[in-house]
Amino acid sequence: MGSKTIRLDEDVYERLRENKRDDETFSEAVERLMGGRSLAELGDVLDDGSRVERMETAIAEADEADVHEVDEVLDQFE
């Protein structure tokens, strides 16, 4: 794999250096901090109506579980 040279403003470099883990290279830190695919890259996934519906259901169920868990924690303090 090749490499490229990039220029960063000093403040951006310092933020990157502060967020870089001791056991990773700057490239690995940038990749980790950038996260996964962007929403624009997920367009092909969102074109599938049934997949979107399953995703919405999973999100709703996770939200419901979170509310339930918060309620249980709050009940401990009453």
Q: Are 48 and 61 in contact (CB under 8 A)?
A: no
**In angstroms, rounded to a whole number, what is the distance separating the alpha carbons of residues 57 and 62?**
9
Q: Which pLDDT belongs to residue 59?
A: 94
Tens digits of residue pLDDT in 24-67 = 999 999 988 998 666 666 666 667 678 788 889 999 999 999 99
Q: Token digits for 73?
A: 């924690």
Q: Are 58 and 52 in contact (CB under 8 A)?
A: no
**In angstroms, rounded to a whole number, what is the distance separating the alpha carbons of residues 49 and 52?**
5
Mean pLDDT score, 3-23: 94
